[in-house]
Structure 1
Amino acid sequence: MVDSDIKEMRRLVIKSFHITEASFSDKTEIMGQSLYLRKNIVDDITKDEPLIHSVNIEIIKPNEHDRWVNSIMDIIPISAKVLGRLGEGITHTLTGIYVMLTGVDTEGVQVAEFGSSEGILKDKIVLNRPGTPGENDIILLCDVVLKAGEGSFRTGPTAAHRVCDKMVQEIRDKLKKLNGRYCTEKHEFYDVIKPNRKRVAIVKQVAGQGAMYDTHLFAKEPSGFAGGRSIIDMGNVPIIVSPNEYRDGAIRAMH
């Protein structure tokens, strides 16, 4: 078979911008390798969220892992769609910093399904693995306190993910505007069809059993929440996801 037989379906370009410093400021912006997050952002992201008691946002530096955190609900990369939809076009992403969502309710009940992970952070997370921060990465902690008992229903953890996503979206809006020519790294990925060759499918089993044990797919933004659909609401039916959609953050774990 010659290369001309290969049919390109989708092209995804991911441009990375490395962050080495993060701090709070009067407004959210990205300048060079520094991320500044608006001080009063919590006031806006918690509006019209009746299930949320409070939200605390902290910046955890690489040498500050010997500290208490509530149960870890998710580790979320900060990525934004610049052109096209999930799985194609151009995506900007930040490296060197990741969002960590944690949750508890006002009575101290951790937001977790079959075992919580509250405790000293360095003992509760394995760094330098796919899906976790590196030992030199900054962690942007979004600690959500739900009202009493709300962690036992899907609506509570969903609200926690939603307010966290609102915070990340403000960063995404700045990330979209960065000049791609000044990216730290650039990677191109192609979804291709190779006629007369073996067809390979990877089966990934995802959570969809109720409460916070849920999975969202195909949000508006990479690894996002807004616009995504619950696998439970879709009836837990098989969903086909292309390799580039997977790379671009089409699946978001809700537990």
Structure 2
Amino acid sequence: MGTFEGLSALVTGGASGIGLASARLLAAQGARVAVLDRAEAAPEGFAVHVRADIGDDPSVVTAVEQAVSALGGLDVLVNSAGIGAQGGIEDNPDDEWHRVLDINVLGLVRVTRAALPSLRASAHAAIVNISSIAAAAGLPQRALYSASKGAVLSLTRAMAADLLPEGIRVNAVSPGTADTPWVNRLLERADDPAAEHAALAARQPHGRLVSADEVAAAVAYLASPGAASTTGTALAVDGGMDGLRLRKEG
């Protein structure tokens, strides 16, 4: 039997990148998986695909209700949906700050709020939020994105404190720079994509981009009943970027 046999999971942003990798791994380990995404094209291999804009609360409430109904309950929520942002503190206008925070932070709030009644009925309830290395390390030209992911990290710990008495565990995964569609779009827009890729890989101690499947493995661990004593933590999947200070040879 798989790790998630008999359990149901909802993954936001599940049509691509880290969300899709997480949904696939949970399904491979036995979960019935619902994918929530604004994309019209439904990824194959999942119990249900619901369309929603996590920036719109009525859309979220309807989508979560549809997912839970199709799944017959809910045990795991993976909050992976989010958007990127570039620039320093003065490079984005108020409207862009509001947009990114609305999706990356309030979007997570909306989905979790809608899912909580169903999670409370589960004996193995777990929430995993996708934060980022940007929440803990100062990265250049990522002021807005870092602020949003720092909020996700703090929110994860506050949620864990509030929901532990109800039997709901809450953790986060903090990926380093990952090989995802968003990062690939950034590389395509660079003056020298190959040089930019090499620079991003070099700043991570293990010398390469993180894969979406590696992040998904961390998500699956934190969501699994085997991690029943783990809550309020953030698991870094960043090639050592946050904690290691390697000495250069020569």
State the structure with more CA Rg. Answer: 1
Structure number with the higher helix fraction is 2
**Bigger RCO of structures 1 and 2 (CA < 8 A, at least 6 apart):** 1
Normalising by structure 2, we get a TM-score of 0.29
Structure number with the higher strand fraction is 1
Normalising by structure 1, we get a TM-score of 0.29
